[in-house]
Structures are given as structure tokens and as C-alpha cells.
Amino acid sequence: MAYVIGIADPLHDAGLEWLRTRGAQLIEGDAALDALPHLDALIVRSRTKVTREMLQQATRLKVVGRAGVGVDNIDLDAARERGVIVVNAPQATTEAVAEHTIALMFAAARHIPQADASMKQGRWEKKRFLGLELQGRVLGLIGIGRIGAAVARRARGLGMYVLAYDPYLPAGVIAERGAEPVPTLEALLNRADVVSIHVPLTEETRHLLNRETLAWMKPGSILICTARGGVIEEEALLEALEEGRVYAAGLDVFEHEPPGATRLVTHPRVVATPHIAAQTQEAQRRVALDIAAEVWNALEGGSLRWRVV
């Protein structure tokens, strides 16, 4: 019998085709959530929350595939209890997110979106857009896993000096990834001119950047986050921007998405993008093919490369 696979969030055609040619029956969009009791597999991105209640309804479900890295939108405990496998596609989006991180650094340091908006209103405001150079500055990475390491490689090429705080990695591994290991978050924030966050959202990392820790940042520094909303306490960041402790911020992720035109999003020294760090043609194709193959392996009882639960 053909497997029934729910595709709750948009997935690149390459992945859909891959599954169809193997005979799978695909149910796309919200219809996938209406068909929970019939699904053998469910594929989501970050938008759909896979809750305990959904897993209870999905009595045939063998596997949940997350087309991307972060699995904070899936109730992993509930999946574990029900014997549902959870897989992700952690490598497919690394380079796209690293490139977007660097793009946000330049956009924030050189006020590129603001300058473009001003020109589109017919203005020519050279003095207003005095910026900072990245070359020669210290980049502090919070988390140096796949994406952090890819950012470190690019930052060194730009002439930045890279520090990293990652208590779960041995100092030797951090050094191999091209960064000086620093033992505490405080030490990192004290020294970095640009801080970039690359940790997953967990109970431990929620509001890792809060009033107390943001006060450790060097006055005039830049903060970038392409990891997850919730790692930064947004009210506290807004205050730090208003006080000038944080010079500018580049944010791709927000505590509540979409956030709307909040005071943080509309702040003149915030560059905001709508969770698009992984949205490249290349990454979306790769992620769809990776998750299709991994979900298929789980259904067929094959060996798994990226099993989370």
C-alpha cells in the first residue's frame, strides 16, 4: 500500500517529485493536518507546530520530518513517548544561513536598507549613513556548530578576528573551526565588536541575551541573530539599542512570528528580515531532497543519518 505523507508546510517541488516517483500519496497544506489519522509520515518546516494533541490523533504516524534544522516546533517528548521517529535535515541550510548572517552584518554596519529606503524617497543623505568597517573587528560567536563554523570561515576571510563561546565543545574543536575559545559568555560579550548567535532554542538558551547579559556587551557593538527568536529578550534589546550600548542589530528571527511592526522591528538601527536565512533556491531544493530521502528511510526501516528522536 502507498504511504500517505502529509506536507504541512511548503516544500520544494524536487522533494515532492522524489516522493511521488516512489508511489507516495501526498497531502499538502492544511489538508495534511485534517488527515492526521491517515498519515504514515508528516513533513513540516518551522511554521507548523507539532503538538502532543496532534501526535495523539495521528495514530498511524511513524515519522515526523523537519525540513531544516531547529526542532523546537516539535513536541519531542510526546514523539518519544508515542514511538514516533523525528528526523531533520541539518546540513542543507548551513551555507545559506551563514551567508545571510554575513549579509546582516554588513547591512547593519553600513545601514544599507536605510540608505536604500532614503534614496527611494529621492534623498541623498551621505552624512547620515556613516558606518563601521568589519575588517579588523572582533566577531564573537555564541555557539560554533555547523552554522557558527561556516560564519567563522567567512568572517576570517573578511579580516575579522573570531572568538567563540560554546560550552559543549572542547577548546581544541573550537580552535580547529578557526575561533579562539572563550570560557564564559561574559568574556565573549566583553571583547566582541560584533556578536552573532548560532545556538538552538532550548530551555537553557531562552533569553540567553537579557538585561543582565546585554549589559556585558561593548558599547557600540552590533548584534546579529539568525538562530531563533526567544534567545534574545526583545524588550531588553530595545532598551540596549536606545541606550546606544548596542549600535545596531540584524535580526532574522523573532519571539513571535510574524512580529508585525513592533518598536524593535521599526527601530531605525534594526535591520529585520522575515526568517529568510535559509530561503535560497539551493538550500530549499537540498533540504527538500534530504528530508524526503530521510523520511522515506524511516518508513522503510532503513538506517537514518539525522535521527533526532
Q: Which residues bind ligand NAD (CB under 6 A)?
A: 68-70, 90, 93-94, 97, 142-148, 165-169, 198-201, 204-205, 226-228, 252-253, 275, 277-278
Query: Smallest distance from the beta carbon of 112 to ligand NAD, in angstroms?
Result: 19
* CB of 33 or CB of 227, closer to ligand NAD: 227
Tabulate helix, strand, coil % of the chain (nearest 5): 40, 20, 45
SS3 of residue 158 by DSSP: coil
> Residues with Cβ < 8 Å from 77, sequence gap 6 or more?
52
Query: Smallest distance from the beta carbon of 246 to ligand NAD, in angstroms?
Result: 19
Out of 110, 137, 177, 228, which one is annotated catalytic?
228
Out of 12, 146, 275, 286, which one is annotated catalytic?
275
Query: Smallest distance from the beta carbon of 169 to ligand NAD, in angstroms?
Result: 5
- The grid coordinates of residue 1 equal 500500500
Which position's Cβ is nearest ligand NAD? 145
* CB of 109 or CB of 150, closer to ligand NAD: 150
- The grid coordinates of residue 112 equal 544599507
- Catalytic: 286? no
Note the helical H segments in the chain: 13-20, 30-34, 52-57, 76-82, 94-110, 112-120, 146-157, 171-176, 185-191, 211-214, 234-243, 281-300
* CB of 45 or CB of 245, closer to ligand NAD: 45
Query: Smallest distance from the beta carbon of 170 to ligand NAD, in angstroms?
Result: 11
- Catalytic: 275? yes
* CB of 217 or CB of 278, closer to ligand NAD: 278
> Residues with Cβ < 8 Å from 153, sequence gap 6 or more?
98, 178
* CB of 132 or CB of 251, closer to ligand NAD: 251
- Catalytic: 257? yes
Out of 125, 133, 235, 257, which one is annotated catalytic?
257
The sign of the CA dihedral 238, 240, 242, 246 is negative
Query: Smallest distance from the beta carbon of 3 to ligand NAD, in angstroms?
Result: 27
Determine contact, residues 20/56, Cβ cutoff 8 Å: no
Q: Which helix (H) or strand (E) holds 107?
A: helix 94-110
Which residues are catalytically annotated? 228, 257, 275
